[in-house]
Chain A
Amino acid sequence: MQRMHVEFMTQLKAAAGCDGMEIECDDPMPVSRVLELVRGRFDALGPMLFDDQGIRHGWLMVGIDSAIVPRGSDPDVQPGSEVLLATPISGG
């Protein structure tokens, strides 16, 4: 079984209490499925990933390997890839 690594950054890392998780998979899966698996593992992350209608937040930063996924798109993630999830941050 292959794996993909999901890395949490910014407020997601704090809410999850860890840096990320591994997902076992032999086949590609869409980003939306990855997010559902993350929510299933970490309840606290649910509201930071999806809105009340269960739609991915437009401001959620999703990266696959070294590229940020365009807002609203749902590309496949390949086994062995790294998915990065982050909420937006600012100055202060």
Chain B
Amino acid sequence: MDDHQHLDDEARAVYAWQLDVPGHGEAGQLRLAEATVLVSRVGGLGSPVALELAAAGVGRLVLAHAGVVQPSDLNRQLLMTHDALGTSRVQCAKRRLCELNPRLEVVAVDANIDEGNATELIEIADVVVDAAPLFSERLAMNDAAFARGIPIVECAMYDLEATITTQLAGRTGSLRDLVPESPEPWQRRFPVFGAVSGAVGCLGAMEAIKCITGIGEPLFNRMLLMDLRSMKMRELQLPGGA
């Protein structure tokens, strides 16, 4: 990019296939280049989200994820590698993403989102993708996104099932309207294949791209419910829309 005003020849070459998407073009690509997306956790869901956003040419990713790479991450956390076991997850993710797209700026935060840092991290983002496992951090993040008035993509999975919706203050209800408190049955570890997190993660990235570029219709007031066991996919209307 040339001062974010024009795509240079290299960018036109890299993004050639998506520049041809109707309604996107160079103007949409410049919007992606100027955008910052916060991805909360780069695990099973967040890894494909971040990969697709990096590949699409989003200018800056803020990645928040505490801890080190563990063997049990590797079935689904596509940004983690075997040789990085025991080292920082978020630094491993940053390295992989910059290999994919050297133009990308990555802000690596070696912490999970909580009430103490949610507002500060969301302050620098244009869109948030919630790929976190704990409802306490999800609610803190969703509250902060609503307070700031930026869209937040809510991704979730369990077994071979997954859900995704996009929320925005003034347009939709919030996560708190659906889940007012941490549900008792939820457990930090649950059954899932990486192919399930990969599928919903890619959809989450597409929702973020739509929010940034203005193409298509985000899942406002709708939830896509997927059962990959039967390959049954449904759209549910959500309450609480403005």
Q: Which A residues fall within an 8 A CB radius of B?
A: 9-11, 13-14, 47-48, 57-59, 61, 63, 66-71, 84, 87-92
Contact = CB atoms under 8 A, between A and B. Distances in A.
A89 B185 CA distance: 10
Contacts of B138: 90
A55 to B, nearest CB: 13
Interface in B116-137: 130-135
A19 to B, nearest CB: 9
Contact of A91 (B43, B159, B184, B235): B43
B155 A10 contact: no
Most chain B C-beta atoms within 10 Å of own C-beta, residue among A48, A59, A89: A89
Contact of B185 (A13, A48, A68, A91): A48
A24 to B, nearest CB: 24
Given A66-B234, A71-B177, A71-B178, A89 B161 contact: yes
B227 interface: yes
Given A14-B159, A68-B238, A90 B180 contact: no
B157 A89 contact: yes
B161 A10 contact: yes
B97 to A, nearest CB: 18
A59 B227 contact: no
Interface residues of B, number: 44
B67 interface: no
B238 to A, nearest CB: 5
Interface string B148-191: 00000001111101110000000000000111110111101110
Given A66-B236, A68-B236, A91-B46, A9 B161 contact: yes
B237 interface: yes
8 contacts: A9-B225, A47-B185, A66-B237, A89-B190, A91-B131, A91-B155, A92-B157, A92-B188
A68 B132 contact: no
B239 A9 contact: no
Given A68-B236, A68-B237, A91 B156 contact: yes
A89 to B, nearest CB: 4
Contact of B239 (A70, A87, A89, A91): A70
B137 to A, nearest CB: 9
B179 A70 contact: no
Contacts of B192: 92
Nearest to B163: A89
B41 A91 contact: yes
Contacts of B177: 71
A11 B185 contact: yes
Contacts of A63: 236
A22 to B, nearest CB: 18
Given A66-B236, A68-B239, A70-B240, A90 B135 contact: yes
A69 B239 contact: yes
B57 interface: no
